[in-house]
Structure 1
Amino acid sequence: MDFQLSPSSVSPQLKETWQHTILLSFQSLGVVFGRLSIAPLFVFATIGTENIKSVDRIHELFSFVFWTLTIIPLLKYALIVLRADYAGEGGIFALYSLLCRHAKVGLLPNDKNTNDIMRFEEQTPSNIEVESRARRAIEKHKSSHYLMLVVALFGSCMTVGDGILTPALSDVPVPAACVILICLFTLQHYGSHKIGFMFAPVIIIWLLFISGVGLYNICHYDPRIIYAISPTYMYRFMRRISPGSWGLLGSILLCAAGSEAMFADLGHFSRRSITVSFVCLIYPALVLCYAGQAAFISKNLGVSKDVFHLSESVPNRSIRHIFRVLSLFASAVGSQATITASFSIINQCLALGCFPRVKVIHTSDKIHGQVYIPDVNCILMLFSIAITIGFRNISLIGNATGLAIIFAMLVTTCFMSLVIALYWEKSLFLSACFLAFFGSIEIIYLSACLLNFPKGAWYLVVHLVIFMTIMLAWHYGTLKKYQFDFENKLSLDWLTELGPGLGVTRVPGIGFIYTDIVTGIPAFFSHFITNLPAFHQVLIFVTFKSLPVPYIPTCQRYLIGRVGPKEYKVYRCIVRYGYCDRVRDTDDFEKHIICSIGEFISREENDFEASTSPEGKMIVVGSQMADRNALIPLDGTVTNMGSSASLGKSEIRTSPLYDHPSGSVSIPIRRKKVRFVLPPNSPQMRHSVREELQELVDARESGTAYFLGQSHLTVRRGSNFLKKFLIMTYVFLDKNCREPPVALNIPHAALVEVGMVYII
């Protein structure tokens, strides 16, 4: 079956007016551009005075700064890469998701039936022959799929590493820096909207101040610094290159720090607002600041060892005090871009099965990309404080930051070249030109950063080992667990062989069975029936499926079908959601499922748009029109009591563990319960349909139960060390996840967990 989702239907973002653009541009200054704005504090400050022997070298370095700012943040990101958004979302994983969708290179745990049911590709024009060969070549070689996933995770780790290092990049005393870090990370729960309003005035005042000082220094010290924007100055530098001077480029790269965050933070604002802010304010202010600082250094070289610090270029002592206060606030705000980018990247990894379950809080109802992750925020804070205390040197932290930045940029360049050819459907020549031009520049900076590896950049290896192990282990365990479920599932014949009565006792009510597979009967459910041959009058197999898109419209979210004949009253519901949707934390999920099944029953025989799956007809349903409601919901309340019980060998239990870890106390919980009634009699609704809907309503009135499979993974004997290590890591992470497998507000007394041993 083929369900089409057009790009416009994927994102719920409204058309952006200029008033809205100006508002978002103002907010983005305090969130997206803080990192770029504070770069002048570190670019020349991290250059050792022993490496600068002449004024010409200062002019040459300024030429590198100017062209690096022009080529990387302006040309590459603001004008090109920001156009590769995925329905408003940005970042390395957004590019990877585009490739998963259009080149079929994803390693998401989907079997063939899943792919048939979950297809969501839009119709695109036929590609030219050379592009078709390129796409087929990438899709054919499985090794390229694994390589792209590893590269995407590597780039994501570098972005998160930048989010750890940048807050620690400060020249204030260590105790004060730790206090600032704690305050900064404490503010994150307010979300990008409020933080943008709080921080934007600081960045605006800071930019106006440093650009004004820069303009004064240009006029007062060295107006001829403007001539240094000529590329001939870079040529002179390269002609007299040496190992010592080559390492200076690692410091120059810091002027582009925050460029990757521009793209990763795209989901928090909009492409137009970010572009307008950068082109109209950020870029000209930074050019004036760097030019003025270079002009000051060129006339005061050798006068003081602190001449490379931006504070020394401030002309008046009283103004210098104001500068120090502003720089302190700006440094704190400057970390916001990388912290916010880390939240976005982790959220995308989480939804695509590459990060352990953590709680994601959406801080805006209008811009769905604005997220806050408390656990990740705490981890970033602890790592940043540890680095601040451990390194105590701005140059060492700057070296590690530069390496993280350039690695993330290189990954973006590689993925972007593939997106140009496979998604934008441009020629391979244009894709190769993009890769060669930007890739060669970034490789030059990478080689310079690698020279500083012993001087602090080694930290990235520690960071990479930790985060890559977590991401790869979680993805591997998730993949193997799904494969085990798929290989051990029971066919529909197992259900039909039980006969019309199913060979078991049917009790009143509705049973929700949560499973990862989209066809067949999950093994844990047969395990349950073997030990306790009784279940509810109505059964609903519910599957959550994350798609590599940011959003799925409500009208295309639910896929409903039958399992077996009508008299069995067994249904299957596949809930499709994007990595920015909030499907799994809604309190009225049960209401939506029952309404969707009611709509399926009313539309089943006459829906000509329905498609068939291996189990029969399936229909896409969602929010219904008022005149098509099969069931009418009525709000009410009910009190539930938590309880627990044990049912022998099969390890089947009702569990209150979601809210009370001790599990020993049962307390009354006041919950919202929605009742359903049938619409008035209508000649358009057949008697059999009305009768089945009434049975569904009666079952809902009798109560509901939720069945979850509780997996226990063990490694098969004789497995290699790497497999054992990955599975052990996955098991450890799974047991210590802060979020349950199904993040729904499940009443305690209604939850039944069925234990199963998975031999991997």
Structure 2
Amino acid sequence: MSLEVDNPAGGAGGGGESANRLSLKRHDSLFGDAEKVSGGKYHGSEGSWARTLHLAFQSVGIIYGDIGTSPLYVYSSTFPDGIKYNDDLLGVLSLIIYTLIIIPMLKYVFVVLYANDNGDGGTFALYSLISRYAKIRLIPNQQAEDAMVSNYSIEAPTSQLKRAQWFKQKLESSRAAKILLFTLTILGTSMVMGDGTLTPSISVLSAVSGIKEKAPNLTQTQVVWISVAILFLLFSVQRFGTDKVGYTFAPVISVWFVLIAGIGLYNLVVHDVGVLRAFNPWYIVQYFKRNGKEGWVSLGGVILCVTGTEGMFADLGHFNIRAVQLQRHLVPIGGTVLHRPSGVPAEIPGERRRHLLQIHPSIIVTIAFRTTTSIGNAYGICVVTTFSITTHLMTVVMLVIWKKHIVYVLLFYVVFGLTEMIYLSSILSKFIQGGYLPFCFALVLMTLMATWHYVHVKRYWYELDHIVPTNQMTALLEKNDVRRIPGVGLLYTELVQGIPPVFPRLIKKIPSVHSIFLFMSIKHLPIPHVLPAERFLFRQVGPREQRIFRCVARYGYSDALEEPKDFASFLADRLKMFIQEEVAFAQNDAENDDEAATDHQAPPRPPRRSTGSVVHSEEAIQSRGSTHSGRITFHASQTAEEEKQLIDREVERGVVYLMGEANVSAGPNSSVLKKIVVNYIYTFLRKNLTEGHKALAIPKDQLLKVGITYEI
């Protein structure tokens, strides 16, 4: 609700007509609340330097524990059969140095980190960011009221850059492009999860393998079981959260960086300062000339030097850009240079929060693969595939959102895309030697995610095709002889328009509706956070005396839903605020109508023979209008207070949550593949994943499910 000052034209001395009139500018209620808050800072905001240094220290234990432990396994994976030529060590070291410069520093630190989604990073954040600027989702996600949320921040393409608008239109009009972007997103997410499974396995196994330098009698089986025990120990402390894990491992990783830097400097001074020749890229050329195809195959081991780079972006939500950039520059590139690559000290790295699959897969991988070489082959594929997907999505961001010049876009895509494709072609040559693992892992996860998304989209459009128009609410209630019962009823639905098909089924089976009834839609916007003040949007459904409303509760994908008691209290407060605003709008409309009627019915001004009578007539008219306006204001205020008291009473009587228990099945004429996907895979997921009421934290004793079957 906003106030607009109306200044009617009138010269000086115009008397009452020259006074400003305040009038309410009427907006639809779904748009009103979204205009009230104009900012908010989250973990992504930069903050003070003290906070930045604090976060930079924590990032050492969370992010750089992976990047900094790559010396444990890079050389062993690059030279599984030993070093043939001494200069090969310099060639590989030169490759490592320039790979660290090109991918983590140039690509991620100076470009990718700035494509964060309100402070959150990762593959899904890039997809979410793109979906705010282009309608690429298979379910409509761009609505006017969403774009008014503070964190949405959409800027329309400028007329000067028609290429961005053209590319955006191509994305929006191509179903194949939408499916491709979605596929890349879930593939990248699957690879990140695979990365999270393999990181602890290869890091711990490599660290324990270093013990064999001093204990040659230690068998590989014993190394594996020691690694398993350490993994159990590491995962047991992960449940304490990122903050405590970061504080715990940051000193450990910091000591590790100091030690490897000190050992590197010692080896340079005492043994061979000539190792610094690796900064000359000519050694890379000579390395490939000497080794040919074997040199190309060895790139699969070299790429492991940048493992954990994606974590700088994916874990950005826990820190901020400045903290990650600061700590990245403090990590020395050449600090891992040792005189003898086989003499690698043991170290236990910190575990990252994004290891979503927890203990069992990492331990199974450790037991099954046993050696760092086999795990490294799988690890490399995860890392490079994620890099490549990020490059492709970043190119779309640069074209559609950043609207960069085509030269810069092509430069980014060619330099980083070509580099990553060379590494990917190398690591794929080791597909049989363990490289198949992430693809099998990703195939399973992608199948599950794609199946859930496919049925979800089909179900949404089915419901949309079978909605009941809201203007038929009164007829629907009268037809079923519905009676009103005490309390507040919330019927959950994904639709934000119309009456969902489950409601007619509900009142047909149980012809009763709570005294206050809301069609509740939980909507996840393609942004990480929605401010609490912008959480709820309301709309009246049917006549006001029926007290039936539509409510859209908006959340970002990183927001946690409130507890039931807090949710109900917050919802009631916002509903009362909405009613107050609606009464104010009605009052304003009535006053405007009254003014218009008074002006229309006023008698023509008589001749100026009797000024007093004219003044008396105008005063009488103003008095009657003032008295009528006062009655409207008093009545409106009284109505608002009564409605708010009614809400409080009904909330105290109890809140009942109603949900549709939808059984989705494939139509009789569907293909065999569709029947397998819908009737078996989706049904299996629906039965084994968290139920809707549990995800929404709805108490069982306040839940009522309504069964309905959708045939898609």
TM-score w.r.t. length of structure 2: 0.82
CA–CA separation in structure 2 for the residues paired with 1:383 and 1:191: 20
CA–CA separation in structure 2 for the residues paired with 1:745 and 1:723: 32
Kindly state the Cα deviation for residue 683 of structure 1 after the two structures are TM-superposed.
6.3
Does residue 39 of structure 2 align to residue 26 of structure 1?
no
Aligned AA for 1:183? Answer: L
User: Tell me, what secondary structure is at the counterpart of 1:551?
Assistant: coil
- The answer for the alignment partner of 1:132 in structure 2 is 165
- Provide closer, same or farther for how the CA distance between residues 401 and 12 of structure 1 changes in structure 2, counting only shifts above 3 A: closer
Kindly state the Cα deviation for residue 606 of structure 1 after the two structures are TM-superposed.
3.7
Computing the radius of gyration over CA atoms, which structure comes out larger, 1 or 2? 2
- The answer for the alignment partner of 1:661 in structure 2 is none
- Provide closer, same or farther for how the CA distance between residues 123 and 478 of structure 1 changes in structure 2, counting only shifts above 3 A: closer
CA–CA separation in structure 1 for the residues paired with 2:165 and 2:471: 41
Kindly state the Cα deviation for residue 100 of structure 1 after the two structures are TM-superposed.
0.5
Does residue 122 of structure 2 align to residue 91 of structure 1?
yes
Kindly state the Cα deviation for residue 605 of structure 1 after the two structures are TM-superposed.
4.5
- The answer for the alignment partner of 2:509 in structure 1 is 531
Aligned AA for 2:407? Answer: F
CA–CA separation in structure 2 for the residues paired with 1:586 and 1:73: 44
Q: 1:39 aligns with which of 61, 70, 81?
A: 70
Contact 2:568 2:655 in 1 (8 A): no
Kindly state the Cα deviation for residue 684 of structure 1 after the two structures are TM-superposed.
10
- The answer for the alignment partner of 2:702 in structure 1 is 750
TM-score w.r.t. length of structure 1: 0.77
- Provide closer, same or farther for how the CA distance between residues 384 and 592 of structure 1 changes in structure 2, counting only shifts above 3 A: same
Kindly state the Cα deviation for residue 721 of structure 1 after the two structures are TM-superposed.
2.8
Aligned length: 613
Does residue 102 of structure 2 align to residue 71 of structure 1?
yes
Q: 2:111 aligns with which of 80, 85, 95?
A: 80
Aligned AA for 2:169? Answer: R
Kindly state the Cα deviation for residue 495 of structure 1 after the two structures are TM-superposed.
1.5
Range that drifts further, 237-246 or 54-63: 237-246
Kindly state the Cα deviation for residue 569 of structure 1 after the two structures are TM-superposed.
0.8
Alpha-carbon displacement from aligned partner over 1:523-569 (angstroms, at most 9, x marks no partner): 22211111121121111111100001000111211111110110111
Contact 2:121 2:316 in 1 (8 A): yes
Does residue 184 of structure 2 align to residue 151 of structure 1?
yes
- The answer for the alignment partner of 2:140 in structure 1 is 110
**Structure with more of its chain in helix, by fraction:** 2
Contact 1:490 1:522 in 2 (8 A): yes
CA–CA separation in structure 2 for the residues paired with 1:168 and 1:699: 56
Kindly state the Cα deviation for residue 53 of structure 1 after the two structures are TM-superposed.
2.0
Contact 2:133 2:154 in 1 (8 A): no
CA–CA separation in structure 1 for the residues paired with 2:59 and 2:699: 41
Q: 1:725 aligns with which of 670, 673, 676?
A: 676
How do residues 250-649 of structure 1 correspond to structure 2 at under 5 angstroms?
Answer: 250-280=300-330, 282=331, 284=332, 286-290=333-337, 293=338, 296-297=339-340, 308-311=341-344, 323-324=345-346, 327=347, 329-330=348-349, 333=350, 336-337=351-352, 340-343=353-356, 376-377=357-358, 381-498=359-476, 503-585=481-563, 587-606=565-584
- Provide closer, same or farther for how the CA distance between residues 98 and 244 of structure 1 changes in structure 2, counting only shifts above 3 A: same
- The answer for the alignment partner of 1:234 in structure 2 is 284
Alpha-carbon displacement from aligned partner over 1:30-76 (angstroms, at most 9, x marks no partner): 11111111100111122336463212221111110100111111111
Does residue 267 of structure 2 align to residue 217 of structure 1?
yes
Contact 1:10 1:551 in 2 (8 A): no
How do residues 611-760 of structure 1 correspond to structure 2 at under 5 angstroms?
Answer: 686-727=637-678, 728-741=680-693, 743-760=695-712
Does residue 229 of structure 2 align to residue 179 of structure 1?
yes
CA–CA separation in structure 2 for the residues paired with 1:150 and 1:470: 12
- The answer for the alignment partner of 2:212 in structure 1 is none
Percent identical pairs in the alignment equals: 32
Contact 1:584 1:742 in 2 (8 A): no
Aligned AA for 2:199? Answer: T
CA–CA separation in structure 2 for the residues paired with 1:536 and 1:227: 79
CA–CA separation in structure 2 for the residues paired with 1:495 and 1:212: 76
Kindly state the Cα deviation for residue 90 of structure 1 after the two structures are TM-superposed.
0.5
Give structure 1 stretches of 5+ with no counterpart. Answer: 298-307, 312-322, 344-375, 611-681
Aligned AA for 2:464? Answer: F
Aligned AA for 2:439? Answer: V
Kindly state the Cα deviation for residue 152 of structure 1 after the two structures are TM-superposed.
0.7
- Provide closer, same or farther for how the CA distance between residues 744 and 144 of structure 1 changes in structure 2, counting only shifts above 3 A: closer
CA–CA separation in structure 1 for the residues paired with 2:459 and 2:325: 43
Please, what is the CA RMSD of the aligned residues? 2.4
- Provide closer, same or farther for how the CA distance between residues 254 and 98 of structure 1 changes in structure 2, counting only shifts above 3 A: same
Aligned AA for 2:343? Answer: L
CA–CA separation in structure 1 for the residues paired with 2:153 and 2:437: 43
- The answer for the alignment partner of 2:619 in structure 1 is none
Kindly state the Cα deviation for residue 724 of structure 1 after the two structures are TM-superposed.
2.1
CA–CA separation in structure 2 for the residues paired with 1:7 and 1:459: 47
Contact 2:44 2:319 in 1 (8 A): no
Contact 2:300 2:423 in 1 (8 A): yes
CA–CA separation in structure 1 for the residues paired with 2:667 and 2:40: 45
CA–CA separation in structure 2 for the residues paired with 1:549 and 1:167: 30
Give structure 2 stretches of 5+ with no counterpart. Answer: 1-27, 209-222, 589-632
User: Tell me, what secondary structure is at the counterpart of 2:520?
Assistant: strand
Does residue 201 of structure 2 align to residue 201 of structure 1?
no
Alpha-carbon displacement from aligned partner over 1:622-679 (angstroms, at most 9, x marks no partner): xxxxxxxxxxxxxxxxxxxxxxxxxxxxxxxxxxxxxxxxxxxxxxxxxxxxxxxxxx
- Provide closer, same or farther for how the CA distance between residues 423 and 241 of structure 1 changes in structure 2, counting only shifts above 3 A: farther
Contact 2:44 2:317 in 1 (8 A): no
CA–CA separation in structure 2 for the residues paired with 1:5 and 1:429: 41
User: Tell me, what secondary structure is at the counterpart of 2:119?
Assistant: coil
- Provide closer, same or farther for how the CA distance between residues 82 and 499 of structure 1 changes in structure 2, counting only shifts above 3 A: closer
Kindly state the Cα deviation for residue 181 of structure 1 after the two structures are TM-superposed.
1.3
CA–CA separation in structure 1 for the residues paired with 2:51 and 2:636: 46
